Chains A and B, each alone.
Chain A
Amino acid sequence: MLSGHADAVLCVAFAPASNVLASGSSDGEIKLWDTGNWRTVRTLTGHKDFVQGLTFHPNGKLLVSASFDKSVRCWV
């Protein structure tokens, strides 16, 4: 079990051809996990409301998040 999010986990996405899992939460945070050891490698803050959707670009170099704060953010 991966614990670390302070609120509900609403979305998950694996980076293509990579060892990264992204998860988004009701507290607005996105966490990136190393799928080798399942440790948190980064916490992406910026959204001010639920992170409901996540998608990786097929090249694995860009993560996009959708939030109830009315914004879509691109993380590179």
Chain B
Amino acid sequence: MKDVKGRALQKLAAMRRMAAMRGAGPVDVLNFKKEPISATNSNLECGIAIRPGERAATVVAFSPSGHLLATSGADGVIRVFDTVRYKQQRALTTHMNWVMALAWSPDGGNLVSTSDDKSIVVWSTKTWEPLHTIQGNNSAVRCCCFSPDGASLIASSPDSSSALKVYDAKTWAVVEEMAGHGDMIRCAAFHPDGSMLATGADDNVVKVWHTSLWTLVRSLESRGHTAAVMCCAFNDAGTVLVSGSADKSVIVWDSHSWAPMQVRSRAANTDDPCELSVGSAVMDGVVGL
């Protein structure tokens, strides 16, 4: 049994070395130019197309200061770009599978990555070395976020994708674990004042948690999503929570009543007062890069 584990660890180390070599490639900025999207939208431009790797890009995150942009994707390599020339400054390699979430600590001192390789890695942004690795056994980790005060890190558990874990952001010890959802958790977002956390999952449900005791405030199911909840975010003021879903909709939740907000239709010829009409929306031209 010990040998099996030893061999597995050796294999993992070899795979990580290969990943390190893979990430040591050239700088990947293919295009650096600014051009308008269309003549009618001259104030909105598609400036730069970066090709971070040879595989799908899944996540982008600006550092709190805005000086750095971190990207990652299917190759598991985290690339850090400066935001002046958008040149790659670092390629961080350790993940063996897709990276689906990145989170900067509010003070910018740590970058956390979570991966389908069942691990959560905390990087120092001084040395760009891994400070801490949380290696699970069973589950891809699809989401993570820091509390606004930087004291806690939330992530889905690397041992059960439907469970949530709260980590102390100094010791990286597990502070709390919640059963979470009935299926894989896809997203998590803090209320800007830190008092609440919202999570969304493949069970179609958005849940809101008190962060003082980590108890459930509300399970948003009524008039909710009819397919997996892929993403969620609070606005700056904390007055609304939005959730996006595989059911193609975005729901705007009032963060006091937790009811979906009624959005008045722009088009006069539709009967549904909740729906925006895409037909009346401004459509922009295709970006050619």
Collect the chain B residues with CB atoms within 8 Å of residue A11's CB: 230-231, 244
Q: Is the CB of B244 within 8 A of A46?
A: no
Closest to A52 in B: B58
Instruction: Please report the C-alpha to C-alpha distance between residue A56 and residue B282 in the assembled complex, in whole angstroms.
Output: 21
Do A72 and B46 touch across chains, with their CB atoms under 8 A apart? no
Interface pair B57/A42, CB less than 8 Å apart: no
Cβ contact of B71, chosen from A3, A31, A58, A66, cutoff 8 A: A66
Q: Are A3 and B278 in contact (CB under 8 A)?
A: yes
Contact A44 B49 (CB under 8 A): no
The one of B60, B246, B266, B287 that contacts A46, using a Cβ cutoff of 8 Å: B287
B62 at the binding interface (Cβ < 8 Å):
yes
- Determine, out of B6-14, B146-154, B210-218, B232-240, the stretch whose residues face the partner at the interface: B232-240
Complex contacts, A66 vs chain B, CB 8 Å: 52, 57-60, 71, 73
B277's nearest neighbour on chain A, judged by CB, is A4
* Interface residues on chain A, number (Cβ under 8 Å): 56
Asked if A73 and B49 sit within 8 Å, CB to CB, the answer is: yes
Mask of A56-76 contacts with B, CB within 8 angstroms, 1/0: 111100101111111111111
State the Cβ distance, B50 to closest chain A Cβ, in Å: 4
B45 at the interface (CB under 8 A from A): yes
Q: Give, as a whole number of angstroms, the nearest-CB distance from A23 to chain B.
A: 5
Is the beta-carbon distance between B248 and A9 smaller than 8 angstroms? yes
Total inter-chain residue pairs, C-beta < 8 Å: 205
Contacts A9-B244, A11-B230, A64-B69 known; A49 to B56 CB distance under 8 Å?
yes
> Quick check: is B268 within 8 A (CB to CB) of the other chain?
no
Complex Cα–Cα for A4 and B12 (A): 44
- Give A26 Cβ to nearest chain B Cβ, in Å: 8
CB distance from B53 to the nearest CB of A (A): 7
Interface string of B39-50 (1 = CB under 8 A from A): 001001111111
A11–B246 Cα distance when bound, in Å, is: 10
Residues from chain B with Cβ under 8 Å of A7 in the complex: 248
Select one of B56, B57, B248, B284 contacting A8, CB under 8 A: B248
Asked whether A52 and B232 contact (CB < 8 A) given A23-B244, A39-B281, A66-B73, the answer is no
CB-CB nearest in chain B for A17: B236
Q: Cβ of B283 < 8 Å from any Cβ of A?
A: yes
Q: Which residues of A contact B260 (CB under 8 A)?
A: 1
Question: Which residues of chain A are near B48, meaning CB under 8 Å?
Answer: 73-74
Contacts of A71 in B (CB 8 A): 49-51, 57
Task: Tell me whether B289 is interfacial, beta carbon within 8 Å.
Answer: yes
A3 touches B50 (CB 8 A): no
Q: Kindly list chain A residues whose C-beta atoms are within 8 Å of the C-beta of B41.
A: 42
Docked CA distance A74–B283 (Å): 18
Instruction: Let me know if B230 and A2 touch, CB within 8 A.
Output: no
Q: What are the residues of chain A within 8 A of B250 when measuring CB–CB?
A: 1-3, 5, 9, 12, 21, 23, 33
- Tell me which of A1, A43, A64 contacts B274 (CB under 8 A): A1
Chain A residues proximal to chain B, CB less than 8 Å: 1-14, 16-17, 21, 23, 25, 31, 33, 35, 37-46, 49-50, 52-59, 62, 64-76
- List the 4 closest A-B pairs by CB distance, nearest first: A9-B244, A46-B287, A40-B281, A66-B57
A sample of 22 inter-chain contacts (CB < 8 A) reads A1-B252, A2-B250, A3-B249, A3-B278, A7-B248, A8-B227, A8-B248, A9-B245, A12-B242, A12-B243, A42-B284, A44-B284, A45-B285, A62-B47, A66-B57, A66-B58, A68-B56, A70-B54, A70-B73, A73-B49, A73-B50, A74-B47
